[in-house]
Amino acid sequence: MLISEVNTLFALIMAMAGVMLLYFRWCRHTASQQWWIVAGWLLIALATLPWTLAHGIEFAVMYAFLVPGILAWVFVGRQWFIATKNQVAKRHDKKPVTEARRPVTEVYQLHHPQRWLVLLLRTAMVLPYAGAVSLLATVALTDLLPLIKNDTLVLALLAGSLVWGIVASWLLAQTSLLRPVAALAVVGLLSALYLFG
């Protein structure tokens, strides 16, 4: 029983270290820290091994997908706290707390009402489209694995939400949606042909 708890703790530490590396690389944009990205994702992937030893492969896959996302919200909250402190410091002419990325209102110039409308329409278009393509592609890819149908569906649902988030973030970060939307249309069409054709 003690070995299970030690493995779980070790997996949590690895996942936290991976998320921390990715977050701190995101905060600092220097070329010398490119290895942080590889090391962060590698730690997150390797955290599956102790979870497998502690809880079995079924739960390990679930933890590998869910725990890093939950841990990432800690750093999202930290970034929001820093940005809020910096805005208060600017109002009172104090030195900012620490470096933070530019607020969304500055990036998208949201003080103009038409910018709000464009951003809302873009988000409303991208999120369902990214979700549909991501779920189709994930179900098609997991169907190729030599697993029982139930395991395939669970893995597709867990991986699908992760892929959906990645694809939606990627689409929202694009200045022009033409190429990414066309590429996703091809992926969605191929996935649908495999599943329903």
The model's pLDDT over 20-38, given as tens digits with 9 standing for 90+, comes to 988 888 777 666 777 888 8
CA distances from 12 to 30, 123, 167, 191 (A): 28, 33, 26, 34
The single-letter code of the amino acid at 19 is V
pLDDT higher than threshold 80 for residue 173:
no
Residues 82/100, Cβ–Cβ less than 8 Å: yes
Highest mean pLDDT range out of 35-39, 45-49, 59-63, 111-115? 45-49
pLDDT computed for residue 161 by the predictor:
81
Arithmetic mean of pLDDT, 34-63: 88
Positive or negative, the Cα torsion across 94, 95, 96, 98?
Answer: negative
The 10s digit of each residue's pLDDT in 61-82 is: 888 888 888 888 787 777 767 7
The 10s digit of each residue's pLDDT in 1-17 is: 688 889 999 999 999 99
pTM assigned to the model = 0.55
Quote the tokens at residue 125. Answer: 């278009």
pLDDT higher than threshold 60 for residue 96:
no
pLDDT computed for residue 105 by the predictor:
45
pLDDT computed for residue 104 by the predictor:
47
- % of residues, the chain, pLDDT over 70: 79
Q: How confident is the prediction for the chain on average, in pLDDT?
A: 80
Looking at residue 31, what DSSP letter applies?
A: G
- 188 pLDDT band (50/70/90 cuts)? very high
